Amino acid sequence: MKSLDVKQFTNAPKQLQVEGFVTAPIDKVWEVVSDHKGMTTWIPMIKEVDLTTANTEGEWGEGCERNCQFGPDLLQEKIVHWDPPYGYAYMIADMHIVKNHLGYFKLIEKMEGTEVVWTQYYDPNGNMIKKWMAKNIMLPSVMKKALKNLQKEITV
């Protein structure tokens, strides 16, 4: 397992973290979590994922880039940490709600299945109402629902 040094990518504070448990082996969870295009089946509001740039080895792991249609917003993301089957981290280019963003999916193998920890580091951007809504309502709701959907996606 490679450790992730968050400060290598952002100095933004940890804003949100949700945890969920999936009753499946870590390899099975990794298979779903690491499937870029498959994100549309379990992360709410992700309507489409376009893989735009492979990494220098021509692969879709660390160093690759993707665009995610998240509701009305196009998120331009770069994978900055890729550690199968333990997780990956991605950065979203600065936008109207967040800047200096780093998101991290961490998978922890347990005897009964896999713990999934999704952490978001960022500096809020935009007006006070948008910042409050993003941190307290929209993002936590999406993240919690995504982890519930992940369990369903894997056990189906």
pLDDT 10s digits, 97-148: 889 999 999 999 999 999 999 999 999 887 888 778 888 888 899 999 999 9
Q: In the predicted model, what is the mean pLDDT of the chain?
A: 94
Query: Which pLDDT does position 156 carry in this prediction?
Result: 52
Count CB neighbours of 32 within 10 A: 17
Task: Report the DSSP beta bridge partners of residue 143.
Answer: none
Reported as type and span, the H/E element at residue 102 is strand 98-110
The two tokens of residue 121 are 């580091």
Query: From CA 156, how far away is CA 151, in angstroms rounded?
Result: 9
Query: Which pLDDT does position 124 carry in this prediction?
Result: 87
pTM exceeding the 0.75 threshold for the entire prediction:
yes
Tokens 């160093």 correspond to: 63
Structural domains of the chain, with CATH: 14-155 (3.30.530.20)
Residue 96 clears pLDDT 80, i.e. is over it: no
Residue 53 burial (10 A CB sphere; 0-12, 13-18, 19+):
exposed
Whether the bond between 85 and the residue before it is cis, its omega within 30 degrees of 0, is yes
Residue 5 clears pLDDT 70, i.e. is over it: yes
Whether the bond between 13 and the residue before it is cis, its omega within 30 degrees of 0, is no
